[in-house]
Amino acid sequence: MIMKKLISGLLLFALAGNFCQVVAQDATNPVLMTIAGSPVTKSEFEKVYKKNNNKEGAYDMKDVREYLELYINYKLKVKEAEEEKLDTSVTFVNELRGYRKQLAQPYMTDKEVTDALIKEAYERMQKDVRASHILLNVAPDALPKDTIAAYNRAMKIRDLITKGASFEKMARDSSEDPSAKENGGDLGYFTGMQMVYPFETAAYNTKPGQVSMPVRTKFGYHIIKVVDIRDAQGEIKVAHIMIKSPANAADSIAQQAKAKVDEIYGKLKGGDKFEDLATKFSDDKGSAKSGGALPPFGTGRMVPEFEKAAFALKNDGDYSEPVKTSYGWHIIKRLEKKAVPSMEEKKNELKTQVARDSRAEVSKNSMISRIKKDYGFKETPKNKDLFINALDTTLQNGEWSPEKVKGFNKPLFTLGTQTYTQEDFAKYINNHQSKKQNTTPKQIGNSLYNQFVDESCLSYEESQLENKYPEFKALMQEYRDGILLFDLTDKKVWSKAVKDSSGLVAFHASNKNNYMWDRRCDAIIYTCANEDIASKTRKLLKKKMTMVEILTTINKDSQLNLNTKDGKFVKGENEIIDSIVWQKGLSANMQKNNSVVFVDVINILEPAPKSLDEAKGIITADYQNHLEKEWIKQLRAKYPVVVKEDVLNSLGK
């Protein structure tokens, strides 16, 4: 989320455009008004009004005047924030800098390369690949001798496999992926965007039954055997009923879970509705609210047992037998199955995924090459070599000091109008060094130098964005104003309303009749499996047993016998409560979703004001609105606002 502080209405104007733009003063663009001494021209206001109201042609002057008042309030708040020096605070500066980094990201990639990567990813998503692998760990910054040793070892293992050795056995014996001991290196099926990019590329470029050459990723070298390539399964939407039973659960708990899911499955086969059973009994409370429905998913998104059972269902409406996973037992119902979405539907999601994926390095490297070309990158290799040769073993321990190269200040490279020196690089090393005792100082120095060049190129390009892209400059102005407005409104209204407990109490006391309870029924709803259970429950109620005691007694043999729901209900909140006569005592039995339901009415509560605690959210919100109105009055009194009526009226002509 680029900006967590986007509150409805707060950025009404800040998101409309760059309001600090200076507009030439002429007869066709007169000053419409002055706010705290600052002029606002007719064209400036008109531009903002059109953008926020989507207006073309003749204006409704009533709308214009209403909008004018909102615009004035906005301008006054920005003025007040600047007067209070909020735009100079460390917090503000750091926050705006953080947003700038995020907003700059779309400008800091090679669009052509990124588009090609998106297309490639989508094409790969048309297929699912099942593969096994053998991993030999190699650190990304390993010494050349260690890298070569790992590669040679990988080649020997591959040679044995191509000569007939079992891939599975070699994986169990040789792979440094801990899971290989259990699965023989089998990764199951996966599709595009689910593996690191070099691994994915090798897998999709290897035919079924064949073994790849060693593939280097950030984890090390992989030998990949492609077992199968199939058409993508697409996406499936299912509902499930889940009964929790963790893998490490005690035997008694595991047996109870199995018994419960079998009992639910029996009811399902007996004709009970899946959605009703899910709502009533599923331990996945999030999905239970919607009849067990889960978001759509595709290959590799669920645990294998769940995924296999879901995709095995042939038709919409089919449901599975109980399926065991590491989470417990599931009964799965197929709701809908779709092919892989179209490129148009998937493009935005893929764009985000590519930006976060290891393939983003491809786009980044292309971007750096373009920056070097655009700004005439020129390097001085002898000065680089002179500096790197001066590095010593303290760099291996992460204890190197710039003092060791004091006086080194020759240029290393130039970029645009900027020259980067040995001293700049020394500071960079000092801030980025770490212990790397298995790497020589020269190797560490060269690696850090390459990082320094890359980061310098990207930083230089980022520093030029306002000059190169007017829309970026306007966007930064919008965010500046948005943050200022948030910070000031938080100070004057939101936090003040929360912290001002005495003011909140006083506001509630003077407005308590605005926060009334309707007539309510204090009751417990008993949902019984059948008439016999309902009769037993009524007998226990006559014995004055509590709801918890009744549940314990009735559900001794089955957790499905009785469910309860208690609360204070208003009309329209619960259909069962709405259907009974509101009087103390037990209602008659009612049939509901193959269950017997009755209500124990404890009390009838007549209309009364809500306490502050009972309606604190809405009362606090109203108090905030009250504080904001008072604040606006103060700003209007503090800063003069002069509107030229003749210019305003001309907008309607």
Report pLDDT for 60: 84
Predicted TM-score (pTM) above 0.75:
no
d(CA 553, CA 542): 14
- At the top level of CATH, which class does the domain 235-338 belong to? alpha beta
| Mean pLDDT comparison of 301-305, 377-381, 558-562, highest-scoring range | 377-381
Instruction: Supply the mean pLDDT for the chain.
Output: 91
Confidence bin at 511 (pLDDT 50/70/90): very high
pLDDT tens column, 312-325: 999 999 999 999 99
Report pLDDT for 248: 81
Residue 25 pLDDT greater than 70, yes or no: no
d(CA 327, CA 323): 10
Q: Where on the phi/psi map is residue 379: left (φ > 0), alpha (ψ -120 to 50), or beta?
A: beta
Report pLDDT for 56: 64
The CATH 3.10.50.40 domain(s) of the chain lie at: 127-231, 235-338, 516-609
Q: How far is CA 165 from CA 68, 171, 211, 225, 504, in A?
A: 80, 11, 12, 13, 77
Per CATH, the number for 127-231 is: 3.10.50.40
Q: What percent of the chain is predicted at pLDDT more than 90?
A: 77
Confidence bin at 26 (pLDDT 50/70/90): low
Closest CA to 629 of 483, 493, 504, 505: 493
Q: Which residues, 6 or more positions from 403, have their beta carbon under 8 angstroms from its beta carbon?
A: none
Which CATH architecture best describes the domain 516-609?
Answer: Roll (3.10)
Report pLDDT for 15: 40
Tell me the residue type at 422.
Answer: Q
Residue 21 pLDDT greater than 70, yes or no: no
Report pLDDT for 1: 36
Closest CA to 215 of 130, 136, 104: 136
Of 8-22, 137-151, 490-504, the range with the lowest mean pLDDT is 8-22
Residue 13 pLDDT greater than 70, yes or no: no
Q: Which residues, 6 or more positions from 212, have their beta carbon under 8 angstroms from its beta carbon?
A: 202, 203, 205, 206, 222, 223, 224, 225, 226
d(CA 242, CA 247): 14
Of 6-10, 198-202, 411-415, 579-583, the range with the lowest mean pLDDT is 6-10
Residue 528 pLDDT greater than 60, yes or no: yes
Quick check: helix, strand or coil at residue 328? strand
Confidence bin at 405 (pLDDT 50/70/90): very high
pLDDT tens column, 620-638: 999 999 999 999 999 999 9
Q: Which residues, 6 or more positions from 32, have their beta carbon under 8 angstroms from its beta carbon?
A: 40, 41, 42, 44, 45, 643, 644, 647, 648
Report pLDDT for 444: 92
Say which residue, 144 or 631, is predicted with more confidence.
631
Of 117-121, 191-195, 250-254, 262-266, the range with the lowest mean pLDDT is 250-254
| 257 alpha carbon, distance to own chain's centre | 33
d(CA 369, CA 454): 9
